[in-house]
Amino acid sequence: MEKKELTCIGCPIGCTVTVTMRGGSITGITGNTCPRGRRYAEKEVTSPTRVVTSTVCVKGGDRALVSVKTAQDIPKDTIFACMRAINGIVAEAPVQIGDVLLENVAGTGTAVVATGAVRRRRD
Amino acid sequence: MKAYDYDIVVIGGGPAGLAAAVAARDAGAGDILILERDREPGGILNQCIHNGFGLHTFREELTGPEYAARFIAMVRERHITCLTETMVTDIDRDKTVTAVNRTQGVFRIRACAVVLAMGCRERARGALHIPGYRPAGIFSAGTAQRLVNMEGYLPGREVVILGSGDIGLIMARRMTLEGAKVKVVAELLPYSGGLKRNIVQCLDDFGIPLKLSHTVVAIRGRERVEGVTLAQVDAAGKPVPGTEEDYACDTLLLSVGLIPENELTRGMGVEMDAVTAGPAVNESLETNLPGVFACGNVLHVHDLVDYVSEEAACAGRNAAIFAEKRRIGEIADSGPQGVASGCEPETVLVPGPGVRYTVPQRIRTERMGERLTVRFRAGAVYRDAYIGVYCNEERVIHRRKPVIAPGEMETIILEKRLLTAYSNLQQITITIEEA
């Protein structure tokens, strides 16, 4: 039997969650205070994921950048591939919160969406 | 002629100011004005592009700009005026606010109630006494965050971070994602000042080492940072000779604490708390000057914006109640000394062993709601400890917590019926007791 101790990143409480495993399958999860912690622990020991947040250049806006995130969490090992794809995006002002700026980033099936708004620059 | 230009003037349009204004309006306040010095409201949230905000307030995980946008929308829906690029330079004891901006020049506003929501700023290198020259490449973590996330500049390629506060941890990940090499995060204390989840997802995820009980003892380079020397520190925080390690780097980020921005508050002669560096307040989050309320990081530095919003809403509601009482003449308009809160019996909240401070610092039990949230911080890391609450000498709450750490603000709820059971309640003491 194998025991793994994790810190849940689901919320700022940061529960210490203990996962017991046998032969690659989970036999028990303890220490979480909510279902979110259970889901996090299951994922973290099998296929860990993260939401990636960054910025994207904006053309013709009143600001040079807009903040973005992956609409869902993506596999941890695709983070840097995602960042390369995000750094290749140039958005056109105006941008609204929730605008999809790139579909299926780095083959993850997840979109990159704006988390901020940028108005068109008044000349 | 109206006695006041505005019922409530909110100083600062960050998360605290926005939430205070929204709550004040919802509690019936008429004319509300928010004064914000930056280009847009939202405060520090606009540069906090990472996620993890709002689980408590909105039951979903948002980024900083998204969280700010929700509150900005609420302010707009309520037709609350927000003047941006406007700097408040002074507030009188009679609540006349002096401000300046490009279009109106210097102007004065008479407020019936004032909500202080100016936030905090970062401790800078000057506060640390690190020897060496003053080369380019030394930034506070928040400045680096603004440069990367809002201005689009990467301030360095090889980075050492001193201090493990949340902004430092967040910037370790952010700089790494943008292609910089973060070599190490050094922390003077034997524990991190940041949230555990940030150590996992910002350092562990990227293999960035965290060196506890370490500090920077030398910065090399005259024009630009060329490297720093770290050394281990002893229990007294003094560097231990022979433990020095050199790191080549072009950038040093400092995440070494936040200071509530209280120049205006002190200028008004508000009574301060030496530990929080914010004003001392009562259960209504009102300072010793009647009608002057405080909330958010100007009151005490928070870890979570959700708690800032909650606290600010409380300050906003109480400001609205104050303005209404004065409007109907229940509170006389006789200057700051007219209705000093000291006229009513007050119970003092005392930080006992293990507790650094409490907010609020005093309670008028008659004025409190059915339940009052008291926020406090521990002075050290405790495992399997208890939070104890004593009314006068009698213990009334004894709550077990697996971990209590200075980096994570604690709360305790005091119920009114518990306190009113005492006919002569002089003080309430909050302690941390080891098992």
Q: Tell me which residue has tokens 């989840």.
A: B197
- Whole-number percent of chain B with pLDDT over 90: 84
Domains, chain B, in order of start with CATH, read 1-122+258-340 (3.50.50.60), 124-256 (3.50.50.60), 344-435 (2.60.40)
Q: Determine contact: A64 vs chain B, CB below 8 A.
A: yes
Candidate from A9, A51, A52 with C-beta closest to B197: A9
* Closest chain A CA to residue B46: A116
Q: Strand B158-162 relative to strand B181-187: parallel, antiparallel, unpaired?
A: parallel
- Whole-number percent of chain B with pLDDT over 70: 97
Q: Determine contact: A55 vs chain B, CB below 8 A.
A: yes
Nearest 5°: phi and psi at A80? -75, -30
Summarised one tens digit per residue, pLDDT across range B13-24 is 999 999 999 999
Mean pLDDT of B146-158: 96
Mutate to test the interface with A, among B149, B176, B206 (most CBs of A within 10 A): B149
Q: Determine contact: A81 vs chain B, CB below 8 A.
A: no
Nearest 5°: phi and psi at B392? 50, -110
Mutate to test the interface with A, among B39, B51, B308 (most CBs of A within 10 A): B51
Report how far apart the first and last C-alpha atoms of chain A are (Å, whole number). 67
CB B322 within 8 A of CB B426: no
Q: Determine contact: A9 vs chain B, CB below 8 A.
A: yes
pLDDT at B331 over 80: no
Summarised one tens digit per residue, pLDDT across range B21-47 is 999 999 999 999 999 999 999 999 999
Alpha helices in B188-242 (DSSP H): 196-198
Q: What is the pLDDT of residue B3?
A: 63
Q: Does the beta-carbon distance from A57 to B152 stay under 8 Å?
A: yes
Summarised one tens digit per residue, pLDDT across range A48-99 is 999 999 999 999 999 999 999 999 999 999 999 999 999 999 999 999 999 9
Q: Mean pLDDT score of chain A, rounded to an integer?
A: 93
pLDDT at A34 over 90: no
Summarised one tens digit per residue, pLDDT across range B67-96 is 999 999 999 999 999 999 999 999 999 999
Summarised one tens digit per residue, pLDDT across range B351-386 is 999 999 999 999 999 999 999 999 999 999 898 899
Q: Does the beta-carbon distance from A116 to B149 stay under 8 Å?
A: no
Q: A10 falls in which pLDDT band (50, 70, 90)?
A: confident
Q: What is the pLDDT of residue B338?
A: 42
Query: Peptide bond before B41: cis, by omega within 30 degrees of 0?
Result: no
Q: What is the pLDDT of residue B334?
A: 52
Write out the CATH class of domain A53-114.
alpha beta
User: For residue A18, with 0-12 CB atoms within 10 Å meaning exposed, 13-18 middle and 19 or more buried, which class applies?
Assistant: middle
Q: Please list the residues that pair with B299 across neighbouring strands.
A: none
Mutate to test the interface with B, among A4, A7, A59 (most CBs of B within 10 A): A7
CB B368 within 8 A of CB B381: no
Chain B residues with CB-CB distance to A8 below 8 A: 197
Mean pLDDT of B211-234: 96
How near does any CA of chain A get to the CA of B213, in Å?
Answer: 22
Q: Please list the residues that pair with B388 across neighbouring strands.
A: B398, B431
Q: What is the pLDDT of residue B229?
A: 96
Q: What is the pLDDT of residue B337?
A: 44
Q: What is the pLDDT of residue B343?
A: 65
Size of interface A-B (CB pairs under 8 A): 78
pLDDT at A13 over 80: no
Chain B residues with CB-CB distance to A55 below 8 A: 49, 148-149, 152
pLDDT at B2 over 60: no
Query: What are B367's two structure tokens?
Result: 């004025």
CB B359 within 8 A of CB B295: no
Q: What pTM was computed for the model?
A: 0.93
The three-class DSSP label of residue B136 is strand
Mutate to test the interface with A, among B38, B47, B50 (most CBs of A within 10 A): B50
Query: What are B197's two structure tokens?
Result: 């989840």
Q: Determine contact: B55 vs chain A, CB below 8 A.
A: yes
Q: Determine contact: A57 vs chain B, CB below 8 A.
A: yes
Q: B339 falls in which pLDDT band (50, 70, 90)?
A: very low
Candidate from B46, B152, B303 with C-beta closest to A12: B303
Candidate from A10, A11, A97 with C-beta closest to B66: A97
| Low-confidence winner among A43-47, A93-97, B81-85, B184-188 (lowest mean pLDDT) | A43-47
